[in-house]
Structure 1
Amino acid sequence: MKYRLGYLNKKESLTLNGALDGCAQKNDERSKEFIYKKYYGYVIAVITRYIKSEHDAEELANETFIKAFKNLPKFNKVGDGEVLEKSFRGWLARIAANLSIDLLRSQKNMIAIEDIGEHDVKPVMINAADKLFAEDILKLLEQLPEIQRLIFNLYEVEGYAHEEIGKLLNIPDSTSRTYLTRAKQRLRKLYVEQFAIRKNF
């Protein structure tokens, strides 16, 4: 799915609400192009949190939009403006994340899950004055073991519940919670090593 740049400029601009209606009611190509161009960068950003290959990421982005347009009647379009924007972005992100996990599973890139219990993990001690900033976390996420990075992204960024992650990755809920705790511990350790110490100089 590739749209020609400049097509929208010849006509009156759309809103997200209008584009969604156009897609759902008339399968309107102009509305599809609007959504594709507006959210392509966002979808790519979601996918590259899971997928390293640029080619695979581009293919998954296109597949995300194909699936989204096909399933638009199932999208619960509530509100307008920022409310609708946030809801639609979250819906797109879930499609993109699910497709990314499916690809990793098909390529057998998923790291084998260890037989661990929550008792194996020490609680994370957090100093309220020591904050992890979003840009720092994004830089550090790439250094996590893959399974920890996947679960952190699914839970903290995409908003999945542990029960949903368990079904998606075929693991117990408790294992998802344990790996999330491990991911947070590892992030804090990396943060102290790479950012906090540097800021003291």
Structure 2
Amino acid sequence: MSTPNDDTATTQITIPSLLPSSNFYLAAGTITLDPHRCRLLTIHNPTTHITKLPRGHQDWDEPLPLTARRETLEETGVHPTLLAVPLSTRCTAPTSSDHALHAEAGRARWDEAGDVLLEGSARLVEPVAMMTHYQPDGALAVVFWYVALADSEAGAVCEPEAGCEARWVGYEEGVRAMVNGDYVKVIQQAIRLVGIIEEMDGPLTWYLTGAQHLDNRE
């Protein structure tokens, strides 16, 4: 049975204004898509019959984007490429002309208050969503989600973790299989953002095996 103490239920939770480091952990995962074939990478637990997206704990001194890629690789055997997407975010734009995204910042558009980047005005490798849930021991899990691409026909580069069954499924099948509605919303957000890129640039194919990646914004 789903309970508020795991991520199998969509619940509203209360987060204290202060938590010591022993009472929470950061995690990251990916919504890995193969838009050329309209497929989504999922992990299925054959024991619990739960289907989710790959994600896991941040290691010591590890950037969250690396956490997302590593956990996806460990749980599925698939090595994803994080995608710069035209999301709306409250991240601060760089001001230095030496920053790799200085030109991107110059094209950015903001809301009236200047706090929120308007969707479609810049492409960034940033979390498109965050999930929170409490573990049975009371620790708060904070999970950040990144959009990624991979070739579903390329095969695994390593064996997935025990208990993890990697499955490439169609978008609609993946949405139906998800353990709760939060995962559904995250998937739909990723698909929508990839759709915006394809409307602007045409079909995404550079991530397919043997194709050259020409996008240097990652």
Higher relative contact order (CA 8 A, sep 6+): 2
Normalized against structure 2, the TM-score is what? 0.21
Instruction: Give 1 or 2: higher helix fraction.
Output: 1
Greater per-residue strand proportion? 2
